[in-house]
Amino acid sequence: MEEFKHFVIVKFKEGVAVEDLVKGMEKLVSEVDAVKSFEWGQDVESQEVLRQGFTHAFLMTFNKKEDFTAFLGHPKHVEFSATFSAAIENIVLLDFPAVIVKAPA
């Protein structure tokens, strides 16, 4: 069975309380069983010319695509998405079946 990934790279609007949004996202994924795992990070190494203003990355893993689809329609996700979307200046979204070349130890 293939895992399914939801990868989001974001540039937030000026003045957004990013910490509050991240806490909201952490709460969301802890309350929705369809999410297998969640990781996030803030870029600290890339040169600005390469980063193109994007600062944060979020990665959710699902056991299968159907779990991802269920997550998209979940009321808590729909509610949080409105808040998250309002804070974004620019976004890249990738949703894909994972091809695992080297599994975690």
CATH of the domain at 59: 3.30.70.100
Segment 89-105, tens digit of pLDDT: 999 999 999 988 888 77
DSSP H or E run through 7: strand 4-12
pLDDT of residue 1: 61
pLDDT of residue 47: 87
Question: Is residue 66 pLDDT above 90, yes or no?
Answer: yes
Give domain status of residue 32, yes or no: yes
Identify any residues that bridge with 42 across adjacent strands, giving them in sequence order: 56
- Is the sign of the CA dihedral 50, 16, 21, 87 positive or negative? negative
Segment 17-39, tens digit of pLDDT: 999 999 999 999 999 999 999 99
Amino acid at 81: S
Give domain status of residue 105, yes or no: no
Q: What is the number of domains present in the chain?
A: 1
Mean pLDDT across the chain:
94
What does the alpha-carbon distance between residue 27 and residue 83 come to, in Å, rounded to a whole number? 14
What's the domain range around 35?
A: 4-97
